[in-house]
């Protein structure tokens, strides 16, 4: 009993000492490098009431470089041949340095290989310069989205002071998605770098710098693809005359032994409404003939971002939600690069992922996952995701929900178009578009969900039968229901009837659903949904879930006895 009392007293004393030292860190920033991190097994993960603690889903895991067999339960259709490739953060500290934000974690690449009803799994950390440099120094040397790298504690006080005046170097931690250019697979973030990856071995190949080929400072991790392999993307450029949004076109094939981005060109540039504070964007829409860019009031303060290191702040500090501004839609003819003269706008909202877009009767129909509040980026700090009990419930209650919405943009608006009338001619949608006296068109959305859908907590990570229906009128999309800070269900939505189907299992957190069509299918939803499902419980294996896309019933699962973190995006590569 005395031993227990002494141990308890020692633990309490150490906690108070650490709290005192941590309070000094605001005055002595370098002190953190001399404080030991708490043992990770001591991170609390119990939730006596409310939401289940998901802290294990945002903790560092080990890679599994050699393929291991998965235990199949149920039935994996024999016609599925290929790899489900996934990307996302998997390492959240180096030495005693810890990342602050979920987006900062080092890229961990996953592969589920499906062949004749069997499944194997492997994973590898992307061998980026950021990962290798941090590993070599055993501390965070390269700053990330929400984490500012501190100066080397071994340098003199003067050297550490002067280091703050150096321009921040962009990270090459490509942790968001897999993208395809000219038949090769790359992992991408939203910065200027991406890496080619072998989809069979997950081996890191060459590093690609967008700025070496085209005048952009980065590109999104959600490009669009034409059937012939032509790829469209968007990237910002920043110069002495201000910033611009650039639509990029990459040709479908390599010419001889040329580099991957050879032949890429800026199709057109769009001037931001505020050149010093352009909008943040994560994706865009594409129809058969048009690119649709959404300029939203979540702003990049370029001065704050450029001076972030000097001010001792991370990039995240330079991003702000400014709802005093409306959201604008820009439509570009992707064949000519012409920006259409119309001005379409709506109330302030934020979208990270577009669902689909298509043309009908002189209009562009645009479907998006929308949030009415743009503060969610700041909410996904690791300290929030790792909370439990009432603290976790409060974080979730403050996170904006995303819901699917449809907008209609009438393209043929001129001086003869009547003012004050709904210009939407489409009978299947209640979205409105009304020309105002100044010539602008005010757009009011239609909800792509029924009453009561809010109970699922919101929907994100939308996917469709992309190869056949991207840019075309469609009926179904799939996504993750967000009844938690990460996805806790899978949902199929019928945009015509507003009905939806849901897959959910207590304590399970499924990733973005990836649609794989049945060979020679004729129905839009003839295929399967693949999703990686993880759990914070120690006694539950992660597994690859296979759902029938039509009925949304489980066909089978392939369990893997390794820990996996919750990730972002991925693709299926057919063999």
For residues 280 and 541, give the distance between their C-alpha atoms in angstroms, rounded to a whole number: 37
Three-class secondary structure of residue 74 per DSSP: strand
Distance, in Å, from the CA atom of 474 to the CA atom of 441, rounded to the nearest integer, reads 25
- Tell how strand 459-463 and strand 403-410 pair up: unpaired
pLDDT at 40: 36
What pLDDT is attached to residue 168?
60
Of the candidates 504, 273, 298, which has an alpha carbon nearest to the alpha carbon of residue 400?
298
- Token pair, residue 264, equals 């890429």
Please write the tens of the pLDDT for every residue from 496-506: 999 999 999 99
**CA pair distance 64, 62, nearest whole angstrom:** 7
CA angle, corner 221, sides to 215 and 222, nearest 5? 105
**Selection from 219, 315, 318 nearest residue 278 by Cα:** 318
Which residue, among 175, 172, 197, 193, has the nearest Cα to 185 in the 3D structure? 197
The full length of the chain comes to: 575
Low-confidence ranges of the chain (pLDDT < 50): 1-48, 158-162, 165
CA gap 107, 228 in Å, rounded: 30
Closest CA to 463 of 232, 247, 222, 288: 222
Q: Which residues pair with 359 in a beta bridge?
A: 364
Residue 257 confidence (pLDDT)? 57
The pLDDT of residue 2: 35
DSSP H or E segment with residue 478: strand 476-481
Handedness of CA 492, 498, 504, 507 (dihedral sign): positive
Cβ 363 vs Cβ 425: under 8 Å: yes
Nearest alpha-carbon partner for 214 in 160, 293, 269, 159: 269
Which H helix or E strand runs over 161? Answer: helix 157-163
Tell the residue number behind the tokens 């085209």, with chain if given: 214
List helix spans (H) across 313-461: 376-379, 382-385, 389-398
Distance, in Å, from the CA atom of 97 to the CA atom of 106, rounded to the nearest integer, reads 13
Of 408, 500, 491, 402, the closest CA to residue 449 belongs to: 500
- 34, with CB counted inside 10 A (0-12, 13-18, 19+), is exposed
Residue 252's contacts (CB-CB under 8 Å, 6 or more residues apart) are 182, 226, 228, 229, 230, 231
pLDDT score at 145 = 94
Please answer whether residues 269 and 291 qualify as being in contact, where contact means their C-beta atoms are separated by less than 8 angstroms: no
How many whole angstroms separate alpha carbon 288 and alpha carbon 291?
A: 9
Helix, coil or strand: residue 132: helix
Structure tokens that stand for 540 in this block: 């539950």
The pair of three-digit structure tokens given for residue 357, joined into one six-digit string: 């877009």
Residue with tokens 């050879």, as numbered in its chain: 262
**Between vectors from CA 341 to CA 335 and to CA 346, what angle results, nearest 5°?**
110
Residue 339 CB partners (closer than 8 Å, separation 6+): 268, 270, 330, 331, 332
Q: Phi then psi for 44, rounded to 5 degrees? A: -65, 140
Beta bridge partners of 346: 327
Encoded tokens for 321:
């939600």
Residue 185 structure tokens = 């697979």
Cα separation, 438 vs 433, in Å, equals 14
Closest CA to 388 of 43, 42, 18, 38: 43
Kind and range of the H or E element at 297? none
The predicted structure's pLDDT at residue 150: 79
Round to whole Å and give the CA distance between 297 and 278.
9
Q: Going by DSSP bridges, is the β-strand pair 459-463/285-286 parallel, antiparallel, or unpaired?
A: unpaired
Q: CA-to-CA distance for 428 and 467, rounded, in angstroms?
A: 24
| Per-residue pLDDT, 18 | 41
């Amino acid at each position: 009993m005395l031993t227990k009392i002494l141990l308890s007293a020692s633990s309490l004393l150490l906690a108070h000492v650490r709290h005192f030292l941590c309070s000094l860190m605001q005055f002595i920033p370098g002190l953190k490098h001399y404080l030991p991190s708490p043992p990770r097994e001591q991170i609390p993960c119990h939730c006596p009431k409310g939401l289940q603690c998901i802290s294990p889903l945002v903790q560092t895991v080990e890679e599994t470089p050699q393929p291991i067999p998965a235990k199949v339960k149920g039935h994996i259709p024999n016609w599925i041949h290929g790899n489900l490739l996934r990307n996302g953060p998997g390492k959240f500290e180096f030495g005693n340095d810890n990342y602050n934000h979920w987006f900062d974690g080092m890229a961990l690449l996953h592969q589920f290989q499906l062949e004749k009803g069997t499944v194997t799994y492997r994973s590898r950390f992307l061998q980026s310069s950021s990962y290798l440099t941090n590993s070599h120094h055993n501390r965070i040397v390269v700053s990330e989205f929400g984490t500012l790298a501190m100066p080397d504690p071994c340098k003199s006080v003067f050297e550490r002071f002067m280091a703050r005046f150096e321009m921040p170097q962009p990270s090459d931690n490509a942790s968001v998605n897999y993208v395809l250019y000219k038949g090769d697979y790359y992992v991408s973030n939203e910065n200027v770098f991406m890496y080619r990856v072998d989809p069979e071995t997950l081996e890191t190949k060459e590093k690609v710098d967008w700025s070496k080929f085209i005048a952009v400072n980065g590109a999104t991790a959600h490009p669009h693809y034409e059937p012939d392999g032509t790829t469209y993307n968007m990237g910002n450029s920043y110069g002495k005359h201000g910033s611009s949004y650039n639509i990029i076109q990459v040709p479908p094939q390599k010419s001889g032994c040329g580099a991957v981005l050879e032949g890429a060109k800026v199709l057109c540039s769009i001037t931001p409404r505020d050149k010093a504070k352009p909008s943040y964007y994560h994706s865009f829409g594409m129809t058969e003939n048009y690119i649709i860019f959404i300029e939203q009031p979540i702003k990049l303060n370029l001065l704050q971002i450029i001076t972030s290191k000097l001010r001792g702040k991370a990039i995240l500090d330079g991003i702000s939600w400014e709802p005093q501004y409306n959201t604008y839609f820009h439509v570009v003819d992707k064949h000519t690069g012409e920006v259409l003269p119309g001005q379409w706008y709506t109330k302030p909202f934020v979208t990270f992922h577009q669902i689909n877009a298509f043309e009908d009767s002189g209009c562009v129909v645009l479907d998006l996952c929308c949030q009415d509040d743009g503060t969610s980026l700041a909410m996904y700090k690791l300290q929030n995701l790792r909370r439990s009990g009432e603290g976790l419930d409060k974080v979730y209650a403050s996170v904006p929900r995303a819901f699917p919405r449809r907008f209609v943009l009438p393209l043929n608006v001129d001086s003869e178009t009547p003012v004050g009338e709904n210009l939407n001619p489409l009978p299947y949608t209640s979205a409105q578009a009304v020309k105002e006296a100044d010539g602008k068109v005010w757009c009011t959305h239609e909800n792509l969900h029924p009453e009561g859908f809010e109970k699922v907590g919101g929907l994100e990570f939308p996917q469709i039968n992309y190869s056949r229906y991207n840019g075309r009128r469609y009926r179904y999309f799939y996504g993750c229901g967000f009844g938690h800070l990460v996805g806790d269900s899978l949902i199929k939505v019928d945009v015509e009837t507003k009905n939806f189907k849901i897959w959910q299992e207590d304590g399970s957190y499924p990733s973005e659903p990836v649609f794989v069509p049945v060979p020679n299918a004729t129905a839009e939803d003839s295929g399967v949904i693949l999703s990686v499902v993880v759990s914070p419980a120690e006694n539950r294996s992660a597994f690859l879930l296979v759902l029938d896309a039509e009925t949304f019933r489980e066909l089978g699962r392939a369990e893997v006895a390794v820990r996996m973190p919750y990730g972002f995006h991925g693709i299926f590569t057919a063999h």
